[in-house]
Amino acid sequence: MKKRILSILLTLCMVLYLVPISVFAEKVGAWGSAAIQLGADALNKTVNTEIAPTVYFGQNHENNPAAWRVIGYDGNGVTSAQGDITLLAAYNMGWSKFGSSAAYADSDLKTAIDALAEKLTSEETDAVQKQTLASGSYNRENTDCVSGTQVNNAVFWPLSTAEASAVNNDLRIADREHQYWASSYWWLRSPGAKGRDVASVDGFANIDHDGIDISNIWGVRPAFKLNLNSVLFASAAVGGKPDGGLTAVPEYSGNEWKLTLLDNSNNFAVTEKAISAAPGDTVVLNYTGASAWLNEYISAIIADSSGAQYYGRITRPDMGNGTVEIKIPSDLAPGSYTLKVFSEQYNGDYNTDYASNFTDIALTVENQPDEQFTLAPGGRYYFDLSAMNIPRTVNSNLPDSTLHYVPFTYAGTVNAYKLTSETATTEEYAQKNKYPHSLFVADFAVTNDVSWDNLNAKELIFGKGYAAGGVDYTLRAPSVGSGSRGSSNLGTPQSNEWDRILDKNGGYIKNWDGMFSWGQDTFERGTEPNRAVRGFDSTRHWIYFHAMDSRPFLGFRPVLEVLNPDTLSPDGLKAVSIDLGGGKLGGSSEDIQIIVKSGESFTAPASDGLTRPDGDTDTYFMWLGSDGNLYAPGDRFPADVTTLTVQWTAPTYAVTLNTNGGTINNGNVTSYTYGVGAKLPTADDMTYTGHTFKGWYDNKNLTGSPVTAIGGTETGNKEYWTKWEINQYTITFDTNGGSEIAPITQDYGTAITAPANPTRKGYTFKGWDKEIPETMPAENMTVKAQWEINQYAITFDTNGGSEIAPITQDYGTKITTPADPTRKGYTFRGWDKEIPKTMPAENITITARWRDTEKPTGEIIIGTNKWNKFLNELTFGIFFKDTQEVTINAVDNSGTVFVSYLVTDKDLSEAELDSLVFHAYEEPFCIDPNGEYIVYVMLVDENINITYLRSDRLTLDNIHPVIGGIENGKTYCEAQTVTVDEKYVDTVTVNGKAATLDANGGFVLPPTNGEQKIVVTDKAGNNAEMTVTINNGHTFGEWVSDNDGTHTRKCTVDGCNAFETENCSGGNATCTKKAVCDVCGKAYGELDKTNHEGGVQEWTTRTAFVHEQKWNCCGAVIVTSEVHEWKDGVCRECGYVCLHNDTDKNHICDYCKKTISTYENAATEEIKNADTVTAKLPDDSKSPQTGDNSNIILWIALLIISGGIMKGVTAFGKNKKHSAKIKDK
C-alpha cells in the first residue's frame, strides 16, 4: 500500500513539473586526447563509470541530437559482446506509461522506444545490432528477461533488471538536478513480482526489481548495441572536424563524441597506392565512384602510428570519376604516413556522418628544400634572350618580339631532377639525381613551330650558359617526366621540374592553353625518338611527340637555373624596378622588374623592345637611376641603384625654393635644363622681417655647405631651403596688484603663448591695456592689467523641495542663512556643504539632501487579474490552460524603481523574501504550464525603500483529467467503480448530472438503461470524456457441453468473463447409448445395461437338448442353456424342430415324445448331447424363426443325411416366460 501511495505522489509530481530535458551536464575525463580518433577506441575509456564517454547518435524525443553513455565495449561492461558497443540514453527521452498490460511486446513503452529508433537514418540503423529480448520469469534482482512474450529484432530496447544492476550507479541517475521528480524515474523491461508490475529505476538510481504498476508514467530510457566495425572514426562532438583543407587535429580534453559510420553503399576509391611529396606540396589523386549529393565531400586524414594527425574536407567533387588536388600541410614533419582518402557526408556538430571505406595511400613526406634565396617566389622578372639564338618562330603573344624583354616567373627552389642527355627517366634515376635548385620559368613559349631536335642542336634542351645582371644561369628545357599516370596525366617520375613547380603553386606556369612545351625527357616506351611535352589541354597534361615534329602548337618554354647558388648569399638576387616613363612594353606601361646580383654594379638594359610614348617622335633615350643620374644602355649602374626610369626626352627638372618665411624679391628660379644649370637668389634678392639671410641648403635640416648655383651636368629635381638667423624680443607684464607674470623673451615671429590671466581675489581681470600679439613682434613691449570687483551668487538646489531664492552680492559681504526647504514624502537632512558667513570669491551651488520616506508602488498583471500589494491570504481559485504573460508596472516619487521578481510555488512571507535572490525585470515574461505559481515582486527605490507585491496562487494546467476503472465504449454487466486522476477537479457529470467523488477520487457507476457519458472537467477547463453501458446482470449465451457431465454458458458482453456451470440432466441411457442432456444436447453419464429399448429378444444358440436367448441390441443373455419345451416335435420357446431319435423302435421320439414313423427299419442310433445343429434361415442359411415349422422335413432330411440314430430320450418340458426391464425415456 505504501508503494502504491508513493507511486501516486510521484506521478502527480511528474505531471506538475514535467519539462523536456535538452541539456545535461556530466563530468568529463581529465585527460587530453586528439579530437579525431580512428575506429571506436575513443569510446573505450572509463566505460560504465560516472565519466563514461558520451556519444551523439540519432535524435531524441525533441528531434535534437540524442546523447548516449557508453556502458559496454567489446565484451566488457554491461551486456556487451565482442565486436559491439552498448550505449544507454544519457537521460530520459520522453515519458510513457508502461502499457495496458505488463507485456512489453505490445506496450506503450515499446511504441515510444520504437518511435525513437525510427528517427535513425538508414546508415545508423544498419550500424545497430538488433537484439532478441527473451522471455522469462521474475527472479528478483537477477531478472534478465522481458516482461511477457519474446521480442525479436529490437533496435532500441529498455534494460533488464540484471543489466541495470550492472550499470554504474551515477549513470543510472537520469536527471541529477531533479532526482525527486517522477520525471527522473525510468522503466526497465523485466517483470515485477506481481502481474501488473514492471521493474523500474528511481531518480536516485535505486532499482525496484519488485516492480511498480504499469499505469505509472515513467521515463523512456533505451539502450542499444552498435557494431564496432561500422565506426570508421570518432570525433569531438563540437569542432572535432576542422573546416577546409588538411588541418592539424586539435587536442581535446572533453568526452563528448560524434561518429563517422561506414557507408557500405559508397563505392568511392582512389587509384594511387603510394605517393611522395614535400610539406606544402600539392598532390593530385585519381578517384572513382564519387557522389555529389548535399554535404558530400572528398575528405582525407593523415595518420601515423599514433593515430590521426590531420583532417580536412578537401573539395565538393563532381559525380563519378575525376581528380582531386590535396595540399600537404606545410608544417608536416618529414617521414612515413598513411593518407586516408574517403568520400564523406558531413552533417555538422553533434550529428552522425557517413563515409566510404578508407583508401589508404602510403605517403612519404620529404624535406621541403629551403629557399636558396630570399627573393619571393611568384614574382615576374624580365630577361634579355635576344642573343641566345633561339630557333624558329617567335611567339606572337610575347610582349617583345625582339626577345630583349622576356617575362619569367620565379618559382623559387624545387627539389627535382634534370637530364643531361637523351634518356627515358626512371624512378631510380629521379630519386638519385633530384636536388634543390632555383628556377625561373618563362611565362610563354618563347618560340613555336620548333622541333626538339632543332632545340637540342642549339644546346637549348640540356643547357646553355647565360648571364644577366651579374648572375650566371643555365638556359634549358625543364624536366617533365617520361610517362604519365592516371586520368590526370601527371608526369612520372613525379619529381620532375614541371610538376614540382606546379606543386608549389599551380599558377607559376602560365599561358599553357593551346601550346605544348618541350621537355627534356624521352618517352619511356617504343623505339621511335619520342619526346615528352606538357600543357595545351591543362597545366599538368602530359603527352609525347616525335623529336623531329615541328608544329605551330609545339613550343620552347625555357627555364633559367641559377648556377652556383652556394657562391651567392641568400640576398644574392636583387630585383630592380623599371619605370617605363610613359612608354610601353607589349602594350603595357606598367613597371617591370629585372634581376641583378646584389652588391655589384650592373649593365643598363637595352632600349630595344620598348615603345616610345604615343606621339613622341624624338630619338632621345636615357636611363635615370634611383641615384638621380642618367645612364645610356650598356652603361654600368652602381650597386645601390634600385629603380630605373626611362627618359624619352632631354629632361627639364623642377626647382623648388623654400624661403622658410622670407620673400624672393629678384632672381627667382623654378626649373633648370640638363646641360644648362641655374643660379640661385642671393641675400640682396631676399627679405625676411626679424631674420638675417644665411644661404641656400639642399636639405631641410640646413646642414652641409650652402649652395649658390645648379651645375649643367646635374640631373633630377632640386629642392633648396633658405637658412635664416632669427632675432629675439621681450614682452613685460605689469599685473597692477595681481599675481606676478614672468616676461616672455623669444625669437621674432615665433608663436607667443599668452600667459594665464593674472588673478586677484574678489576681482575680475578685464584684460591688458594693449593686446598681446600672437607672434613675437620685432620690438620689446610692456602691457598692464585692468581689474573690476566681482559679485557672486549662492544658488540653492532644493532637489525637489520648496524653492529658495539665490543670494547675489559683492565679494566679502555678510550672508544671511535662509530657512530650511520642505518636500512632501521626504525629511530634510541638511545641505551638501556649509553656507559661508561672507560671500566667497566664487559662485557656489548648495544642494539639499533628503531622505525618501515613501515606498514605491506597483502592480502585477496576469490576464485580467491585478495585484498591487502583498496578498496576505492566498486562494486556490485562479486557473489557466495556456501560457500566461506577466507584466509588472512600478512607480516611485524618486522617479527610479528597480524591479525584480521571483516565481515559485512556495507561500513565503516578506521576511523570508529578504534572503532570496530575485530576477531583474526588463520586460514582460511568461509562465508555462504545468504547475502552481506565486509571483513575488520586489520594488526598490534609490533610497532602498522596499515594497513587496504578491499575486494569488496561480495554477497553469493543460493536462487533461484521466478517467480510470473503465474503458471508453465498453459494456459492463454490473456497477463499476470509476476513478478520476486529476488534482484540480471542477465537475464530474454522468449524462449531465453531477457525480460526487469519494475520498479516493472515485465513484460507483450503477447499472442503467442505455449509455452513460462521464465528463470530467478540471478547473482550468481541460476535460475528459468516456461513454460506457452498464447492464443489470449478465447476458448469457447458449449452454455448451464441457464433455465431463456438465455444461457451461458464458456472458456475451465483450470483456466480461462471467459464466455458469451445471450438471447435465434429462434423457434416458440404454444398453448401447448414453443419455442425451435435455439442455446442451450432448451425451453424458454411463450406459444402462438394463434398458434394451429398441432391442429384440432372439434365440441365438440351439442344440437337440437346450436353447438360450439374447438381446440383439447388446448381446446380453436372457435365457442360458434351458431345455426345450416340446409340442409336436417343435420347441414352443425357440421353434427348434426336433431331429427325432427312436432308440427303442417304438416310433415315439425319445426327445420330444412325438410319434414319428411306422417304418420298422428306422435308424436307432442315439444323438449325443455333443452333436448339435445350428438351424439355418431359409433365405441366408440361418436357423428358422421361432414357431416356424415349414422346414421340418428339411431338418429331418439333414438328420438322416448326417447318419444320426435316434434314441429314446426322456425330456421334461416347462412353460417359462422371460422378460426384460424397459426403462422409460
Query: How far, in Å, are 73, 658, 698, 699, 710 from residue 694 at the CA level?
Result: 96, 13, 13, 14, 18
Query: Which residue, among 882, 888, 892, 881, has the nearest Cα to 902 in the 3D structure?
Result: 888
Q: How confident is the model at residue 132 (pLDDT cuts 50, 70, 90)?
A: very high
pLDDT greater than 80 at residue 1104:
no
Q: Which residue has the cell 523485466?
A: 190
Q: Which helix (H) or strand (E) segment is 15 a member of?
A: helix 2-17
Report pLDDT for 623.
Answer: 93
Residues 6+ apart with CB under 8 A from 432: none
Q: What percent of the chain shows pLDDT beyond 70?
A: 91
Report pLDDT for 276.
Answer: 85
Say if residue 493 is in the same domain as residue 530: yes
**What are the grid coordinates assigned to 1177, written together?**
434361415
Residue 1067 and residue 1087 in contact, taking contact as beta carbons nearer than 8 Å: no
User: Which sign, positive or negative, has the C-alpha torsion 1064, 1065, 1067, 1070?
Assistant: positive
Q: Which helix (H) or strand (E) segment is 912 a member of?
A: helix 910-913
Report pLDDT for 751.
Answer: 92
Residues 6+ apart with CB under 8 A from 9: none
Say if residue 17 is in the same domain as residue 152: yes
Residue 750 forms part of a structural domain: yes
Say if residue 712 is in the same domain as residue 695: yes
Domain count for the chain: 11
Residue 733 and residue 753 in contact, taking contact as beta carbons nearer than 8 Å: no
Domain ranges, residue 168: 2-229
* First vs last C-alpha separation in the chain: 61
Q: How confident is the model at residue 888 (pLDDT cuts 50, 70, 90)?
A: very high
Average pLDDT in the 105-113 region? 97
Average pLDDT in the 564-575 region? 95
> Helices marked H in 410-508 — which ranges?
427-433, 452-457, 497-504
pLDDT greater than 90 at residue 649:
no
CA angle 717, 719, 725 (to 5 degrees): 170
SS3 string of 493-523?
CCCEHHHHHHHHCCCCCCCCECCEEEEEEEC
Give 367 or 1063, the one with higher predicted confidence. 1063
> Helices marked H in 69-207 — which ranges?
108-118, 122-127, 161-166, 169-172
* Per-state percent for the chain, helix, strand, coil, to nearest 5: 10, 40, 55
Q: Give the lowest-confidence range in 99-108, 475-484, 1010-1019, 1210-1219.
A: 1210-1219
Report pLDDT for 484.
Answer: 83
User: Which sign, positive or negative, has the C-alpha torsion 695, 700, 701, 705?
Assistant: negative
Residues 6+ apart with CB under 8 A from 684: 666
Report pLDDT for 111.
Answer: 97
The phi and psi torsions of 51 (rounded to 5 degrees) equal -110, 35
Classify each residue of 736-750 as buried b or exposed e, where b means 16 or more C-beta atoms within 10 Å of its C-beta: eebeebeebebebbe
| CATH number, domain containing residue 900 | 2.60.40
Query: How far, in Å, are 274, 319, 487, 786, 934 from residue 287 at the CA level?
Result: 14, 10, 9, 97, 67
Q: How confident is the model at residue 1101 (pLDDT cuts 50, 70, 90)?
A: low
pLDDT greater than 80 at residue 822:
yes
**What are the grid coordinates assigned to 134, written together?**
527473451
Say if residue 537 is in the same domain as residue 470: yes
Give tens-digit pLDDT for 292-317.
888 999 999 999 999 999 999 999 99
pLDDT greater than 80 at residue 1195:
no
Report pLDDT for 652.
Answer: 85
Residue 465 forms part of a structural domain: yes
**Type of residue at 49:** T
As a whole number of angstroms, the distance between CA 80 and CA 166 comes to 11
Residue 388 and residue 441 in contact, taking contact as beta carbons nearer than 8 Å: no
Residue 1092 forms part of a structural domain: no
Listed residues 956, 987, 1017: the one ending a domain: 956
Q: Which residue has the cell 442360458?
A: 1120
Q: How confident is the model at residue 487 (pLDDT cuts 50, 70, 90)?
A: low
| CATH number, domain containing residue 767 | 2.60.40.4270
Residue 258 forms part of a structural domain: no
Residue 155 and residue 128 in contact, taking contact as beta carbons nearer than 8 Å: yes
Say if residue 50 is in the same domain as residue 182: yes
The strand pairing partners of 940, in sequence order, are 898, 946
Give tens-digit pLDDT for 690-728.
888 999 999 999 999 999 999 877 878 999 999 998 888
pLDDT greater than 50 at residue 989:
yes
Report pLDDT for 1164.
Answer: 41
Report pLDDT for 1135.
Answer: 80
For the ranges 95-109, 425-439, 516-530, 1081-1095, the maximum mean pLDDT occurs at 95-109
Q: What percent of the chain shows pLDDT beyond 90?
A: 66
Report pLDDT for 1191.
Answer: 43
CB atoms within 10 A of CB 230: 21
Query: Which residue, among 293, 246, 286, has the nearest Cα to 266 in the 3D structure?
Result: 293
**Type of residue at 738:** G
Query: How far, in Å, are 422, 480, 542 from residue 516 at the CA level?
Result: 19, 12, 9
Give tens-digit pLDDT for 926-955.
999 989 999 999 999 888 889 999 999 999
How many Cα atoms within 13 Å fall on the side-chain side of residue 1099?
25
**pTM (2 d.p.):** 0.45
Give tens-digit pLDDT for 146-202.
999 999 999 999 999 999 999 999 999 999 999 999 899 999 999 999 999 999 999
**What are the grid coordinates assigned to 360, written together?**
589508404
Q: How confident is the model at residue 283 (pLDDT cuts 50, 70, 90)?
A: confident
As a whole number of angstroms, the distance between CA 903 and CA 1105 comes to 121
Q: Which residue has the cell 520504437?
A: 114
| Ramachandran region, residue 767 (left: φ > 0; alpha: ψ -120 to 50; beta: rest) | left
Residue 170 and residue 151 in contact, taking contact as beta carbons nearer than 8 Å: no
pLDDT greater than 70 at residue 563:
yes
- Please, is 951 exposed, middle or buried when counting C-beta atoms within 10 Å of its C-beta (0-12, 13-18, 19+)? buried
The phi and psi torsions of 769 (rounded to 5 degrees) equal -65, -20
Residue 1101 forms part of a structural domain: yes
Peptide bond into 493 cis (omega under 30): yes
Question: How many residues are there in the chain?
Answer: 1225
Residue 247 forms part of a structural domain: no
Residue 601 and residue 639 in contact, taking contact as beta carbons nearer than 8 Å: yes
Instruction: Give the E-state strand segments of 432-499 in sequence order.
Output: 435-442, 447-448, 464-468, 471-476, 483-485, 490-492
Instruction: Give the E-state strand segments of 488-642 in sequence order.
Output: 490-492, 516-522, 530-535, 542-546, 554-556, 559-562, 573-579, 592-597, 602-603, 622-625, 630-631, 636-637
Q: How confident is the model at residue 1109 (pLDDT cuts 50, 70, 90)?
A: confident
Residue 238 forms part of a structural domain: no
The phi and psi torsions of 516 (rounded to 5 degrees) equal -80, 150
Query: Which residue, among 131, 57, 161, has the nearest Cα to 172 in the 3D structure?
Result: 161
Listed residues 987, 1004, 1030: the one ending a domain: 1030
| DSSP state for residue 672 in the 8-state scheme | E
The strand pairing partners of 761, in sequence order, are none
Say if residue 87 is in the same domain as residue 142: yes
Query: Which residue, among 741, 766, 737, has the nearest Cα to 754 in the 3D structure?
Result: 741
The phi and psi torsions of 1035 (rounded to 5 degrees) equal -110, 100
Q: Give the lowest-confidence range in 610-624, 761-775, 1149-1163.
A: 1149-1163
Report pLDDT for 726.
Answer: 87
Residues 6+ apart with CB under 8 A from 941: 852, 855, 856, 892, 893, 894, 896, 897, 898
Residue 291 forms part of a structural domain: yes
Say if residue 773 is in the same domain as residue 800: no
Give tens-digit pLDDT for 362-400.
999 987 788 999 999 999 999 999 999 999 999 999 999
Report pLDDT for 634.
Answer: 94
| CATH number, domain containing residue 988 | 2.60.40.10
Mean pLDDT of the residues in the chain: 88
As a whole number of angstroms, the distance between CA 988 and CA 962 comes to 12
Give 709 or 1166, the one with higher predicted confidence. 709
CB atoms within 10 A of CB 413: 20
Query: Which residue, among 339, 312, 122, has the nearest Cα to 235 in the 3D structure?
Result: 312
Listed residues 897, 927, 956: the one ending a domain: 956
Say if residue 54 is in the same domain as residue 189: yes
Say if residue 660 is in the same domain as residue 800: no
As a whole number of angstroms, the distance between CA 211 and CA 194 comes to 8
The phi and psi torsions of 502 (rounded to 5 degrees) equal -70, -30
Say if residue 972 is in the same domain as residue 871: no
pLDDT greater than 70 at residue 754:
yes
Report pLDDT for 1201.
Answer: 34
Say if residue 1154 is in the same domain as residue 1102: yes
Say if residue 799 is in the same domain as residue 842: yes
